[in-house]
């Protein structure tokens, strides 16, 4: 058997992300799931934390919604755009994706 060291995830500054608000008092009706029923939905401490998580999750596209009162963060699946539906205290946003880290194949020891 072979053992390969794990590559640590990139360290992210949640304030680094350019967040664009798209709609006020709307959520994305085609979000991946809601209420924490999948990894693409979680309770975030801030809009910035939500945006950072969406940006780094390969299953998420660039669009997401965030509950301004309850903190729920739900992303729209990759390759889809948010389909807005009216809902108080939720807003829709987009954020650029973080590219995956470049890996040096010579870094790994087998």
Burial call 65-88: b when 16+ CB within 10 Å, e when fewer: bbbeeeebbbbbeeebebebeebe
pTM score over 0.85:
no
50: helix, coil or strand? helix
Q: Domains plus CATH for the chain? A: 14-95 (3.50.4.10)
pLDDT digit string, tens, across residues 41-69 = 999 999 999 999 999 999 999 999 999 99
């Amino acid at each position: 058997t072979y053992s390969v060291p794990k590559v640590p995830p990139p360290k992210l500054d949640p304030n680094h992300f350019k967040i664009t608000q798209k709609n006020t008092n709307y959520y994305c009706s085609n979000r991946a799931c809601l209420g924490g029923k999948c990894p693409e939905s979680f309770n975030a401490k801030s809009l910035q934390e939500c945006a950072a998580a969406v940006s780094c999750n390969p299953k998420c596209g660039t669009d997401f919604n965030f509950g301004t009162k309850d903190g729920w963060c739900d992303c729209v699946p990759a390759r889809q755009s948010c389909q807005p539906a009216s809902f108080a205290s939720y807003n829709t946003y987009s954020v650029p994706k973080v590219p995956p880290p470049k890996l040096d194949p010579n870094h790994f020891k087998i």
